[in-house]
A and B are shown apart, each in its own frame.
Chain A
């Protein structure tokens, strides 16, 4: 089937860069020129016709077709094998509980955290070890960037346009991580969320910037997790008091202590659910006393339920570093996990 998008003739790759930058079609970095051949290759790999409707953004009622998504994926540097994960991420973001318009327009400036699970990670070379939240590998870099370019170009989420972020964060270039399933005894994130172990999944979460922690001075699970919980409490004081999906990035060094002590992801979530709480009066400690009022004793939990915690095994083999990735807006936006490709029995979890 022929592509429907408008075409432009450019003299060379440099002229292509200037065309895309001049029209506001990039994230500021160079793009791969999206030729018809490259776009067709993505569509054929995903077995999608160009006019396949991926979904409709519910607030502004903008339709997203496979062709437009593929164009942006190619621009981001995606190979055809990366494209199905991009399709799934966008599909997940279009679920009502994700609150896509709010998450992309908010002054709060969140980015979309994308977590890859299942066998597809290895097929496309997505790596969850060294530099897991940074430039760890080609696959996670381009999948995360493709989602951002799609937001910019298809949904007009440009800074100062739909995107009203006050400061944003670097994850708005690309914010994709693969879980290190091979080097962990824990259930992968998608299985923890009640989904089949043998399929590949994408989880999306409207997320603030990672808050890095370090504790290399204990092997005691409660002490390790107290460091994470303290960072969550700090986020509740400094950023937002509202509970919701938090993600914890736990690297191998810390995982080994927790796993040796027999702690599962469920155990971790139960502990953190109890420990990551503050009272409203603590706002006064960080200059927010004006909104404490007579509710100083009211307790707020970072997680309404333990199941809201997304525990992700990722990070290089050495170092007691981890990260807390906070939610953009409490439970107003919920993490969504969807299967990559067809999965008859799968559906998005409730939270």
Chain B
């Protein structure tokens, strides 16, 4: 006897954004860094700041910290992204 069963998944892909084109060079550019605010991010992103400036000639590194490390970035941070040439985000535990 054949059993007919149902798909339990959403079957509809959630809306996704499109990644921006990657810059050819970071020299002279503004790079934003979105930190989740955890303790481990402080040293990591401070080191990244130095690397970006010293090794990649980045003009400015803008650090923004989320108000809740388990929630999406705050609206005002997201709105600011348009003013940056590239953005780095990630967890830091």
Query: Is B25 interfacial (CB 8 A cutoff)?
Result: no
Query: Is A72 interfacial (CB 8 A cutoff)?
Result: yes
B7 contacts A332, C-beta separation under 8 Å: no
B6 contacts A34, C-beta separation under 8 Å: yes
Scan residues 29-76 of chain B and give those whose CB is less than 8 A from a CB of chain A.
Answer: 39, 68, 70-72
A33 contacts B72, C-beta separation under 8 Å: no
Interface-located stretch among A8-16, A194-202, A271-279, A311-319: A8-16
Main secondary structure of the interface of A (DSSP, over half): mixed
B4 contacts A154, C-beta separation under 8 Å: no
Main secondary structure of the interface of B (DSSP, over half): loop
B71 contacts A6, C-beta separation under 8 Å: no
Taken residue by residue from 242 to 267, chain A's Cβ proximity to chain B (1 for < 8 Å, 0 otherwise) reads as 00000000000000000000000000
Query: Is B11 interfacial (CB 8 A cutoff)?
Result: yes
- Cβ distance B63 to chain A, nearest Cβ, rounded Å: 20
Interface residue count for A (Cβ, 8 Å)? 47
How long is the Cα–Cα vector from A41 to B7 in the complex, in angstroms?
A: 17
Partner of A61, one of B5, B6, B14: B14
Interface residue count for B (Cβ, 8 Å)? 21
- Asked whether A291 and B8 contact (CB < 8 A) given A9-B3, A11-B2, A102-B71, the answer is no
B8 contacts A62, C-beta separation under 8 Å: no
Query: Is B87 interfacial (CB 8 A cutoff)?
Result: no
- Asked whether A5 and B3 contact (CB < 8 A) given A61-B15, A63-B12, A332-B70, the answer is no
How long is the Cα–Cα vector from A155 to B93 in the complex, in angstroms?
A: 24
7 contacts between A and B (CB under 8 A): A3-B6, A8-B6, A10-B4, A20-B8, A75-B8, A102-B71, A329-B70
